[in-house]
Amino acid sequence: MDVWHVLLHSLKDCALMLPVMFITYAIIELIERKTSFATNGKSLTGKGAPALGALFGTIPQCGVSVMSAKLFDKGIIGLGTLFSVFIATSDEAFSILIASDKRLDIIPLILIKFALAVAVGMLFNLIISKQKEYGGEVFEHESVCAHCHDEEPTGKFAWVKMYILVPLFHALQTFIFVFLVTFVFGLFFGEDGLIGEDAFKQYLSSVKYAESFITALIGLIPNCASSAIITGAYVNGGISFGSLVAGLISNAGVGLAVLFKNVKETKRNLFILIVLYLIGALSGLFITLISGLF
């Protein structure tokens, strides 16, 4: 195994995300300082929020899931909206499907994921709104970036600290965390990994009756390569369409890794991970069973 190659490949993948992370934190900083809903700790949980989240989630870019994870962690968007983005996200899958002879399958894939993302998002936002109506709180968020806002910067160049240095610091922190996750994944499942991508695909093709549950589990791995492996297995005829859907529903790109960076909210993050897995696995199994009837 060429560890140096895995290291460079991981750095390259994560470096492409760094500008998106910086822009995300800059936007969050602007929202926190300039809008009343953020400073009052309220979430953007309007009826149309899950649909908007699902729409942005369909953009084949893992930066969208990263942004949604950070906005949720700050309490700026609701849990349902986060789920809508995560479920709709497909990352590397679109480019692989378009380049294959199964490119038309991208249409039902997008429709299924979008419809499910909106439905799940609206359901969770409704549940949480009912909880608040009866005086309960599903999740508690930290005060918005309190550690950064204890003292308001003053002076001619205060904006440099607020909108460049603080976002850059947070972006670099997240970059290091995501890089470590990506590097470890590459050591085991990359092209030059201990297990290898081809071996992964062969294993998937040998477990037909449990495909959806296994691909959904693989989809939880917070790395762009996991969606590539699942889609590659489908294109090569190794798994069914239902198993493809299962893996891509649970796959939220690097978004899950960003959530788990907040160790103070481990229980919350585990809840999100388990729900995402079950939605993916059961949806894929349902599609497989329905397909078998025709």
Least confident of 137-141, 153-157, 226-230: 137-141
- Reported as a pLDDT band with limits 50, 70 and 90, residue 144 is very low
Contacts of 30 (CB under 8 A, 6+ apart): 163
Indicate yes or no: pTM above 0.85. Answer: no
Least confident of 136-140, 163-167, 221-225, 272-276: 136-140
- Res 263 pLDDT > 70: yes
Q: Could you report the per-residue pLDDT of 45-62, keeping only the tens digit for each?
A: 567 889 988 988 887 666
pLDDT value at residue 211: 84
- Reported as a pLDDT band with limits 50, 70 and 90, residue 119 is very high
Separation between Cα atoms, residue 66 and residue 253, nearest integer Å: 8
Q: Count Cβ atoms within 10 A of the Cβ of residue 77 and give its class: 0-12 exposed, 13-18 middle, 19 or more buried.
A: buried
Instruction: Give the pair of three-digit tokens for residue 150.
Output: 């204890």
Instruction: Give the pair of three-digit tokens for residue 258.
Output: 């960003």
pLDDT value at residue 40: 43
CA distances in angstroms from 174 to 7, 237, 243, 264, 271, listed in the order given: 17, 36, 31, 16, 21
* Helix, strand, coil % in the chain, rounded to nearest 5: 75, 0, 25
Instruction: Give the pair of three-digit tokens for residue 142.
Output: 């930290």
Higher pLDDT, 183 or 44: 183
Instruction: Give the pair of three-digit tokens for residue 6.
Output: 């895995």
Distance, CA of 37 to chain centre: 24
- Is the CB of residue 245 less than 8 Å from the CB of residue 114? no
Question: Which residue matches tokens 């240095």?
Answer: 165
Angle between helix 241-250 and 224-235 (nearest 10): 170
- Is the CB of residue 216 less than 8 Å from the CB of residue 284? yes
Per DSSP, 141 falls in state P
Torsion of the alpha carbons at 95, 87, 278 and 76, rounded to the nearest 10: 140
Separation between Cα atoms, residue 44 and residue 113, nearest integer Å: 22
Q: Could you report the per-residue pLDDT of 190-204, keeping only the tens digit for each?
A: 666 666 666 666 666
pLDDT value at residue 15: 79
- Res 42 pLDDT > 50: no
